[in-house]
């Protein structure tokens, strides 16, 4: 839309004072607000509403002086007594904020994206709030955030400053969310909410998504999970720092969802005329169950939310579990040869390539001193990159630029850059400290590390950006107000990433934070993908990938085949099972290929070749979960192309089940009237009796496929193609 057209749209709305309903619409959902008697009332988020004027006069209270219907952005003060979206302290004065409706307008941002802005103000304190709603028509996603401006003459202190408030009214609220720890990310749990407050949050500052993830799926009027039926609201916050999602069922049995930056130890002073912009909260609504909620989020993520999702990330071999710190030039060039031999497309040199005075030959030293270790690789990183490129293999490299080892030159040169509380001992995690990204000097340094790494060799294709600790004993020598640290760090992180993307728009960057510590949509605006977990063991991965891909698309979740016994769990699984799990995401390998037998290499070659033929379905298709791994012996999922002409089905036996029938996976997302040919991949012994046959989509969704997956770790991949 041109500027003139935008301003015409603004004028149109502003000139129509009778237009008190504020309608935010997508293809299949509506959010309806109303400016009523000075307040902005939140009426509805759910299925499509025809004429919003039908809400006129709607009132839920017995007496007018008992309260009002929910406000769009409730503030502490007035008659509001629940946890508030906005709480403001006016030092030496009041804590009362009463926001009144000023105006609203909408305009098209791009094809299929409409922005609605609602302006509110507290006339007594001159605090102004803008509520911003971006509606993504085709994806059925609405993104909410707020902007808070101090229009008064004195500083104010923001105590609560959530991105959005979402009131929901249903008979029952089933909250599904994701929790875990290192090597056990995104374990899914569901609970029926009861009165009181439930919060999902982190206070770790960075590496924020191991313990909880800032996302949820809320099923309405039910206490059981359903993939295909029922009303569902799913949400995810785009913020790489401390967050809090708060679910409060109040005395009216209404659920009030607040989401945004965690106010914990984060009182934020806003000077005269300053504006605070909150992060985006991404919502989708569907009445077609949790599966559709995931597909909406995936579509939004791939079309709008993640950095350049149009690309298909190359398959790769990462050096970490295959070599750890113990390598020389020959180790790496041999691995690159193996990449070529097995048909992979990229080699990634992980930790251990840098440090001269304090060489990074273990995790106890060297972070911060990013010069290549010429004792280890005398020929230089450029030689390795050239070696790869000359063989048609892309080259990537690992950095962890926010960190510093106590044993490093950097720690000695810049102690003032290290996060810590004055006068107290700084704690280490994995023998390392954190650099204070709230400090612009540190931001320059971190940007410089990325920049100089890119210059180590022409055409570095990929950077793995790691982050192996979180914040403890917080504090910054740079900040006057220590409570600004948490937000300042995250804003500093984004400043660096913005500069990097301006200079390096094309390099693929992975967000790794001891595995899945940065799996959230704030990071994914800048990163192409995440390292889903340090746990590469295939059975653990079933649960980790199942949970992660509820919210985040498989196109961004790295998934590697590693050696057995697995280095994290000690479990031994067949190579085919490991490939069949990894192939359901962004495929890579992470082992020493020299240790593989010729038979294993053959299997790898075959799995990689077929993966390349169907991976566009994983990257760009629709995910249907066919069977949950929770409480079940089998797990299955499938991806269907948008035109429904092709599909790939993955099935796994994850628990041995004595003498029972074989599992049935009823397929989903296919065109009922189309006949599909079915071919099992990567095996000489098809496990489904219908292999090679052509069956109707309708039949496949009614009866499904029932392969002979009877022994623990039996698995299969089936490729479906529409008959011409
Ligand atoms: C973290 C990452 C691993 C690996 C190591 C290297 O643990 O998650 O993948 O890069 O650091 O030290």
- Residue-wise pLDDT for 211-223, tens only, equals 999 999 999 999 9
| Confidence label for 19 from pLDDT (cuts 50, 70 and 90) | low
Residue 39 in contact with ligand 1 by CB distance below 6 A: no
Answer with the residue of higher pLDDT: 63 or 636.
636
Q: Cβ contacts of residue 178 below 8 Å, gap of 6+?
A: 185, 186, 187, 188, 189, 212, 213, 215, 216, 547, 548, 550, 551
Q: Is the CB of 535 under 6 A from ligand 1?
A: no
Kindly state the percentage of the chain with pLDDT values over 70.
97
**Mean pLDDT for the chain overall:** 95
How many other CB atoms are found less than 10 A from the CB of residue 719? 18
Region 278-298: what's the mean pLDDT?
98
Is the Cβ atom of 530 under 6 angstroms away from ligand 1?
no
Residue located nearest, by CA, to atom 2 of ligand 1: 514
Does residue 60 carry a pLDDT above 90? no
| pLDDT band at 327; cut points 50, 70, 90 | very high
Taking CA atoms, 461 is separated from 394, 495, 561, 580, 590, in Å, by 6, 22, 21, 26, 18
Strands 675-680 and 127-136: unpaired
Give pLDDT, residue 18. 45
What share of the chain in percent tops pLDDT 90? 93
- Of the residues 362, 464, 466, 519, which should be mutated to test ligand 1's pocket, given the most ligand atoms within 8 Å of the CB? 466
Residue nearest to atom 5 of ligand 1 (CA): 351
Quick check: helix, strand or coil at residue 73? coil
Whether the predicted pLDDT of 11 surpasses 80:
no
User: Two tokens at 607?
Assistant: 């799995």
Please, are residues 674 and 648 in contact by the beta-carbon 8 Å criterion? no
Nearest CA residue ID for atom 6, ligand 1: 351
CA Rg value for the chain: 27
Q: What is the pLDDT of residue 17?
A: 43
Instruction: State the DSSP H helix or E strand holding residue 383, giving kind and residue range, or none if neither.
Output: helix 381-390
What whole-number distance in Å separates Cα of residue 349 and Cα of residue 337? 14
- Which pLDDT score is estimated for 404? 98
How many whole angstroms separate alpha carbon 200 and alpha carbon 694? Answer: 47
pLDDT digits (tens, 9 = 90+) for 597-645: 999 999 999 999 999 999 999 999 999 999 999 999 999 999 999 999 9
CA 600 to centroid of ligand 1, rounded, Å: 25
* CA trace torsion 706, 709, 713, 717 (10° rounding): -50
Q: Whose CA is nearest to atom 4 of ligand 1?
A: 320
pLDDT score, position 5: 42
pLDDT of 7 over the 80 cut? no
Q: State mean pLDDT over 483-512.
A: 98
Q: How far is the CA of 466 from the centre of ligand 1 (A)?
A: 7
pLDDT over 90 (residue 538): yes
Cα 595 to Cα 605: distance, rounded to the nearest angstrom: 15
Query: What are 370-421's pLDDT values in tens digits?
Result: 999 999 999 999 999 999 999 999 999 999 999 999 999 999 999 999 999 9
Does 323 sit in the ligand 1 pocket, CB within 6 Å? Answer: no
Q: Is 534 in the pocket of ligand 1 (CB under 6 A)?
A: yes
| Pocket of ligand 1 contains residue 463 by CB under 6 Å | no
Q: Ligand 1, residues 322, 327, 514: which to mutate, most atoms within 8 A of Cβ?
A: 514
pLDDT tens track for 689-721: 999 999 999 999 999 999 999 999 999 999 999
| Mean pLDDT in residue range 82-100 | 96
Residue nearest to atom 1 of ligand 1 (CA): 514
Q: Is pLDDT larger for residue 274 or for residue 66?
A: 274
Ligand 1 pocket, 352 CB below 6 A?
no
The tokens describing 315, both together, are: 């398959």
Ligand 1 centre from 324 Cα, in Å? 9
Q: Is 398's C-beta closer than 6 angstroms to any atom of ligand 1?
A: yes
pLDDT over 50 (residue 36): yes
| pLDDT of the residue at 6 | 42
For ligand 1, whether the C-beta of 185 sits within 6 Å is no
State the pLDDT confidence band at 505, using cuts at 50, 70 and 90: very high
Whether ligand 1 lies within 6 angstroms of the CB of 321 is answered as no
* Cβ pair 614, 645 in contact under 8 A: no
pTM: 0.97
Q: Which atom of ligand 1 is nearest to the CA of 398?
A: 10
Please report the DSSP string for 172-229 in residue order.
-EEEEEEE--TTS--EEEEEE--SEEEEEE--SSSSTTSSEEEEEEEEES-SS--SSS
- The pLDDT of residue 68 is 75
Nearest partner of 472 among 427, 423, 432, judged by Cα: 427
Q: What is the DSSP letter of 313?
A: P
CA distance 718 to 236: 32
96 Cα: distance to centroid of ligand 1 (angstroms): 48
pLDDT at 652: 98
Distance from the CA of 515 to the center of ligand 1, in angstroms? 7
- Taking the centre of ligand 1 as the mean of its atom positions, its distance from the CA of residue 564, in whole angstroms, is 18
The CB of 510 under 6 Å from ligand 1? The reply is no
In which element (H, E) is residue 412 found?
helix 409-413
CA gap 440, 277 in Å, rounded: 19
Using DSSP, state whether 561 is helix, strand or coil. Answer: strand
Q: In the chain, what's the furthest Cα-to-Cα distance? A: 81
β-strand partners of 23: 32
What band does 12 get if pLDDT is binned at 50, 70 and 90?
very low
- Give residue 3's pLDDT: 42
Report whether pLDDT(162) > 60. Answer: yes
Per-residue pLDDT averaged across 293-300, rounded?
98
């Amino acid at each position: 839309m041109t500027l003139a057209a935008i301003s015409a749209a603004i004028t149109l709305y502003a000139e129509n004072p009778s237009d008190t309903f504020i309608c935010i619409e997508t293809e299949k959902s509506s959010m309806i607000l109303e400016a009523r008697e000075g307040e902005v009332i939140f009426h509805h988020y759910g299925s499509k509403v025809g004429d919003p004027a039908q809400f006129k006069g709607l009132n839920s209270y017995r007496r007018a002086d008992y309260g009002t219907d929910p406000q769009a952005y409730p503030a502490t003060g007035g008659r509001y007594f629940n946890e508030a979206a906005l709480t403001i302290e006016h030092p030496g004065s009041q804590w009362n904020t009463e926001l009144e409706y000023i105006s609203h307008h909408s305009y098209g941002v791009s094809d299929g994206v409409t922005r609605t802005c609602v302006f509110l103000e507290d006339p007594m304190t001159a605090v102004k709030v803008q509520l911003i709603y971006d509606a993504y028509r085709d994806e059925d996603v609405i993104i909410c955030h707020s902007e808070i401006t101090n229009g008064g003459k004195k500083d104010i202190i923001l105590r609560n400053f959530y991105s959005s408030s979402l009131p929901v009214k249903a008979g029952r609220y089933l909250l599904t969310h994701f929790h875990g720890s290192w090597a056990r990310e995104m374990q899914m749990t569901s609970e029926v909410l009861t009165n009181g407050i439930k919060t999902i949050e982190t206070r770790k500052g960075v590496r924020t998504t191991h313990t909880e993830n800032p996302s949820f799926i809320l099923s309405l009027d039910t206490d059981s999970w359903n993939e295909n039926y029922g009303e569902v609201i799913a949400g995810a916050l785009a913020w790489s720092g401390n967050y809090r999602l708060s679910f409060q069922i109040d005395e009216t049995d209404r659920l009030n969802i607040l989401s945004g930056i965690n106010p914990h130890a984060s009182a934020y002073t806003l000077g005269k005329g300053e504006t605070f912009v909150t992060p985006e909260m991404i919502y989708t609504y569907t009445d077609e169950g949790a599966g559709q909620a995931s597909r909406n989020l995936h579509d939004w993520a791939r079309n709008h939310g993640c950095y350049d999702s149009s690309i298909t990330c190359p398959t790769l071999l990462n050096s970490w579990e295959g070599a750890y710190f113990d390598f020389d030039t020959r180790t790496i060039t041999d691995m690159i040869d193996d990449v070529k031999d097995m048909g992979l497309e990229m080699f990634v040199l992980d930790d251990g390539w840098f440090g001269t005075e304090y060489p990074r030959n273990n995790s106890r030293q060297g972070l911060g001193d990013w010069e290549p270790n010429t004792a280890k690789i005398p020929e230089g990183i450029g030689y390795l990159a050239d070696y790869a490129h000359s063989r048609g293999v892309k080259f990537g490299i690992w950095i962890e630029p926010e960190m510093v080892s106590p044993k490093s030159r950097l720690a000695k040169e810049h102690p003032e850059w290290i996060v810590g509380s004055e006068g107290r001992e700084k704690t280490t995690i994995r023998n390392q400290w954190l650099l204070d990204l709230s400090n612009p000097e540190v931001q320059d340094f971190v940007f410089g590390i990325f920049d100089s790494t890119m210059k180590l060799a022409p055409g570095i294709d990929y950077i793995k950006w790691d982050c192996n600790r979180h914040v403890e004993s917080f504090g910054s020598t740079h900040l006057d107000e220590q409570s600004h640290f948490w937000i300042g760090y995250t804003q500093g992180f984004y400043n660096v990433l913005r500069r990097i993307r301006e200079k390096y728009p094309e390099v693929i960057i992975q967000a790794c934070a001891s595995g899945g510590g940065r799996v959230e949509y704030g990071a994914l605006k800048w990163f192409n993908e995440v390292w889903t977990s340090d746990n590469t063991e295939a059975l653990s991965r079933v649960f980790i990938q199942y949970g992660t891909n509820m919210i985040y698309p498989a196109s961004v979740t790295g998934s590697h085949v590693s050696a057995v016994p697995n280095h994290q769990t000690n479990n031994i699984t067949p190579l085919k099972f490991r490939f069949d799990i990894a192939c359901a995401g962004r495929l890579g390998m992470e082992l020493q290929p020299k240790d593989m037998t010729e038979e294993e290499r053959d299997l790898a070659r075959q799995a990689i070749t077929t993966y390349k033929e169907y991976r566009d379905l994983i990257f760009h298709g629709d995910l249907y979960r066919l069977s949950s791994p929770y409480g079940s012996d089998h797990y299955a999922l499938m991806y269907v192309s948008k035109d429904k002409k092709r599909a790939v089905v993955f099935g796994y036996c994850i628990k041995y089940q004595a003498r029972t029938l074989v599992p049935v996976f009823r397929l989903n997302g296919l065109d009922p009237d189309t006949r599909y040919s079915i071919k099992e991949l990567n095996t000489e012994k098809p496990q489904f009796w219908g292999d090679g046959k052509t069956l109707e989509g309708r039949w496949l969704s009614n009866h499904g496929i029932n392969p002979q997956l009877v022994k623990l770790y039996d698995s299969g991949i089936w490729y479906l193609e529409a008959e011409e």
